[in-house]
Amino acid sequence: MAVLATVVAAGLAGFGAVYVMAGGADNAAKAPTRTAQAVAAKPAALPSGPGTNALSVGQMAAFVFKKEPEEIPELPFLDKDGKSRLLKEWQGKVVLLNLWATWCAPCRKEMPSLDRLQAELGSDKFEVVAVSADKTGVAGAKRFLDQIKVEKLGVYADPTVRIHSGLKAIGMPATLLLDAKGREIGRLVGPAEWDSDEAKTLIKAAIAAGG
């Protein structure tokens, strides 16, 4: 509940460009009693709803599961060539949808871990889709990713920033986990180390659960 209270308070603060660092600087619990390594790599079912569970630990302590997978609105964004894309094009894969912006310092901090995650787990079953919800558009996103030497992530941007509000994301970065049917399983607000053992265990569980 403390994490949710932090997120709500930040959302009400009224800043035009706000990011939320939920659960501490990197979303790691200070003294988790259970770690991702302590649970089965492929649990029979994903947790449902907020609260203590075996997967929302460590770097994923701020990850909140939905009670049931939820449909999300189809909100267009652009790829590196300026082509309009929709998330339904990724159906069949579990997707980690990361919303970020070039002005967001925590986004810069976590982006390399998303790149490493894509390098390790990217496949026909999983992909990281990082969308810049930023008025600098595709050009700004490409400059940002080039500066921090990201190599495995695609370049995607929504210069209208509608994807951020349309998905009811509070702050940046905000990361949604989508099942293979394109439904939201849960989300984490604030930066995290996405190639940590806890993150990979959570994502592998989502892949194993199918959709």
The SS3 of residue 131 is strand
By CB atoms closer than 10 A (0-12, 13-18, 19+), residue 30 is exposed
Domain extent, residue 34, equals: 2-209
Report d(CA 54, CA 205) in Å as an integer. 11
Residue 189 has pLDDT above 90, yes or no: yes
Residue 45: the pLDDT is 74
- Partners of 176 in beta bridges: 97, 187
- Partners of 98 in beta bridges: 130, 175
**Domain count of the chain?**
1
Residue 22 has pLDDT above 60, yes or no: no
Q: What is the mean pLDDT of residues 91-112?
A: 97
Q: What are phi and psi of 152, to 5 degrees?
A: -100, -15
Report d(CA 99, CA 129) in Å as an integer. 9
Percent of the chain with pLDDT over 90: 74
Q: 78 falls in which pLDDT band (50, 70, 90)? A: very high
Residue 32: the pLDDT is 42
pLDDT tens for residues 47-76? 988 888 999 999 999 999 999 999 999 999
Q: What is the mean pLDDT of residues 70-93?
A: 97
Average pLDDT, the chain: 84
Q: What is the CATH number of the domain that holds 17?
A: 3.40.30.10
